[in-house]
Amino acid sequence: MMPIEYKNINYKYPGAQNPVFNNLSCRVGDPGFHALFGQSGVGKSTFARMVAGQLNGFAGEIADKEPKKVYYSYNLERLPGWSGVGEHIDKVTPETNKNRIDEIVESFGILTCMDSGFSRLSLGQQNRVNLARYLLQDFDLLIMDESLANVDEATREQIIFKIKEMFPEKSFLYISHSVAEVSRFCRNILVLRSFLKMPQALTIHGQDDIRGKQVVKKDLEETMLEIVNAS
């Protein structure tokens, strides 16, 4: 997949005094597990919705050389409650991807949820189920906006490693408030900043941890410091 280039993007919500984006320039969509990071209110979810094609009315240039399937998965997204989780996942999964259902369900630790209604699950289980159904679609870029919130650290690690192993050629944009998490797991971290700062986005190289790799503590701490200083 060719990356999507955003050049001089400007956007302000109707009625707002200040813009969200002021000549924002960046690129997303390179293969691998990447992050979108920034302080609350800088427009991470707004940018994610823009990339997913859910937000219009902005000025600037988007260099997109090929059609892409972009999905946006977010924390607390709800599934229909009139069917069991397993029945819903089977229904929405394309036939060519159904051979992946068992592997994802098992690695996500949601096997016991398959016969339950979505509303009966814990918040962590709901987020894992929701993310699983997106991973079973045909996509080029998947945006994960706090998609693993309310999931314990060990399970988040297992899920991220599994995603990297199963989809090495796909593109992911992971949004998390944890500087340690994005520093450790992500290849590049796009740090989104206030519209008053120029440039409004900076890219920091992460440790891109995978199963079996030993991340050096000093390197991780340096990446974390770079991200904090860039924010």
Cα–Cα distances (Å) from 18 to 7, 47, 75, 196, in that order, read: 19, 16, 26, 10
Average pLDDT rounded to a whole number, residues 192-199:
96
pLDDT of residue 83: 78
How many domains does the chain contain in total?
1
Beta pairing class for 4-11 and 59-63: antiparallel
Percent of the chain at pLDDT > 90 equals: 91
| Angle, vertex CA 221, rays to CA 147 and CA 204, nearest 5 | 60
d(CA 57, CA 29): 22
CATH number at residue 63: 3.40.50.300
pLDDT of residue 82: 74
Domain range for residue 80?
4-230
Per-residue pLDDT band at 135 (split at 50, 70, 90): very high
Average pLDDT rounded to a whole number, residues 130-141:
97
- SS3 category, 28: strand
Cβ atoms 130, 73 nearer than 8 A? yes
Is pLDDT of 65 > 70? no
